[in-house]
């Protein structure tokens, strides 16, 4: 599957600091101790109702993480999937009288356009579930060889008892796990399962549903095995960051990680598990099932510069949930205008301390609001007391573009990329 085009990224002097980030598995802020090459897997969209601001917050968060790693001198191999075959797509297709493949195609296109407008660096590997079915079949074969599969009717399940570290990502108690499995497409009550928590690996063909041939009969992949197969194949048995929203911690990441660890025999699958907090609207998590959504593309159509959308998202640190309000856009537009004005001047206050501050804040668990506040302070000084450094405005534009992903070129930020 095609990724999206990479935005230009100007180079900064010096080098960024090593990142410390909140890790769900150890429940602590820890150094992300990546080697020279950092490997990152971030769960991608299920392509319908894209790209809402919850999605955008999550992908901008990993974009910051990506940029901080690059600035610290790492090479980054970044894989992201598209869940382009799944029950919600069939439901949406039935509701709208359309084809699920067409919904997936057009919504993935829209997501790519939104990511491009928001200057999100593209993944190295952007891959769909459908095109990854051979990888899934191979991984189920490996699990079978480890005695980690069983059948219920013609469906194939994974026995969680074969995963010694099951629970080490989410730390949930059993009751909470069962409840969350039921809420997230699982089937804890299905008779014949060895354990209610056992996730589906392969769903045998049902009338009216698409199916692909496999050694275990025609069918389609379960959800968690999709991400496990893509990550193992494209990144290897150990990765540095597994990412997604907090709603994916259980069952999706717990189960996908269990598949990967049992198949590879390597623990832990990810050195760090990063989960972004949820964005709400009208007091509830912004979600496709509830329908309380605001879209990046709708804001863009209404003339909101993508750089302002990005600044509104950067006003929140990734571990703290928050409520979207239209006022956030207005405030971000004002901030963007001030930053543009201050950096369009011939001179400004020395910006080298600002570079250190922004690097320090981002390395501190991706504290984007603190980094934004530091740029605000420089901007206020530039617009009030002025400053004599002819290099400062350019350096601030580079800091904003390279680390925060906010291009201050008034033409682009004003909407020519919409």
Minimum CB separation of residue 201 from Zn ion in Å reads 15
**Nearer to ligand 5CA (CB atom), residue 185 or residue 414:** 185
247 binds ligand 5CA (CB under 6 A): yes
Q: Which of 33, 124, 19, 123 is nearest to 71 (CA)?
A: 19
Work out what residue 279 binds among Zn ion, ligand 5CA, none; the CB cut-off runs from 5 to 8 Å by kind.
Answer: ligand 5CA
46, 89 contact by CB (below 8 A): yes
Q: Quick one: which of 245, 305, 306, 349 contacts ligand 5CA (CB under 6 A)?
A: 245
CA distances from 134 to 124, 227, 264 (A): 20, 13, 17
In sequence order, the 6+-apart residues with CB closer than 8 A to the CB of 371 are 314, 357, 358, 361, 362, 403, 404
Phi, psi dihedral angles at 171 (to 5 degrees) = 60, 25
Binding piece for ligand 5CA, criterion CB under 6 A, among 183-191, 241-249, 259-267, 369-377: 241-249
Work out what residue 245 binds among Zn ion, ligand 5CA, none; the CB cut-off runs from 5 to 8 Å by kind.
Answer: ligand 5CA
Phi, psi dihedral angles at 238 (to 5 degrees) = -130, 130
Q: Which of 139, 255, 246, 154 is nearest to 199 (CA)?
A: 255
44 binds ligand 5CA (CB under 6 A): yes
Q: Quick one: which of 57, 202, 216, 250 contacts ligand 5CA (CB under 6 A)?
A: 57
81 binds ligand 5CA (CB under 6 A): yes
Spell out, one character per residue from 192 to 231, where the chain touches Zn ion: x when CB under 5 A holds, - when not. Answer: -----------------------------------x----
Spell out, one character per residue from 7 to 46, where the chain touches Zn ion: x when CB under 5 A holds, - when not. Answer: ------------------------------------x---
Minimum CB separation of residue 184 from ligand 5CA in Å reads 9
List of residues contacting Zn ion (CB under 5 A):
43, 227
List of residues contacting ligand 5CA (CB under 6 A):
43-46, 54-55, 57-58, 81, 83, 227, 244-245, 247-248, 276, 278-279, 285-287
């Amino acid at each position: 599957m095609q990724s999206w085009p990479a935005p230009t990224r100007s180079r900064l002097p010096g080098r960024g600091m090593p990142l410390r980030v909140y890790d769900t598995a150890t429940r602590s802020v820890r150094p992300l101790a990546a080697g020279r090459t950092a490997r990152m897997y971030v769960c991608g969209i299920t392509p319908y109702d894209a790209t809402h601001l919850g999605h955008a917050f999550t992908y901008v968060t990993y974009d910051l993480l990506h940029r901080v790693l690059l600035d610290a001198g790492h090479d980054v191999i970044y894989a992201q999937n598209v869940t382009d075959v799944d029950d919600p797509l069939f439901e949406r297709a039935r509701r709208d009288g359309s084809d699920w493949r067409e919904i997936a195609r057009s919504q993935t296109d829209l997501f790519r356009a939104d990511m491009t407008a928001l200057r999100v660096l593209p993944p190295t590997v952007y891959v769909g579930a459908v095109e990854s079915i051979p990888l899934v079949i191979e991984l189920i074969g490996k699990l079978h060889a480890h005695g980690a599969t069983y059948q219920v009717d013609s469906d194939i399940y994974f026995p969680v008892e074969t995963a010694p570290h099951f629970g080490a990502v989410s730390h949930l108690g059993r009751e909470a796990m069962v409840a969350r499995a039921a809420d997230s497409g699982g089937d804890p009550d299905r008779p014949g399962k060895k354990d209610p928590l056992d996730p589906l690996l392969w769903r045998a063909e049902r009338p009216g549903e698409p199916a692909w041939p496999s050694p275990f009969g025609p069918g389609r992949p379960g959800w968690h095995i999709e991400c496990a197969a893509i990550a193992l194949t494209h990144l290897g048995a150990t990765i540095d960051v597994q990412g997604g929203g907090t709603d994916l911690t259980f069952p999706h990441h717990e189960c996908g990680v269990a598949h990967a660890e049992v198949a590879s025999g390597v623990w832990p699958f990810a050195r760090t598990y990063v989960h972004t907090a949820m964005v709400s609207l009208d007091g509830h998590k912004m979600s496709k099932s509830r329908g309380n959504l605001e879209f990046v593309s709708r804001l863009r159509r209404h003339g909101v510069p993508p750089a302002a959308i990005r600044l509104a998202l950067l006003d929140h640190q990734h571990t703290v949930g928050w409520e979207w309000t239209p006022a956030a856009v207005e405030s971000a537009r004002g901030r963007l205008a001030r930053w543009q004005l201050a950096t369009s001047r011939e001179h400004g206050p020395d910006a080298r301390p600002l570079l250190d501050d922004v690097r320090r804040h981002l390395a501190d668990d991706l504290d984007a609001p603190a980094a934004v506040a530091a740029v605000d302070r420089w901007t206020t000084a530039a617009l009030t007391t002025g400053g004599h450094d002819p290099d400062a405005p350019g350096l601030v534009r580079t800091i904003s573009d390279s680390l925060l992903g906010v291009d201050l070129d008034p033409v682009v930020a004003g909407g020519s990329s919409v």
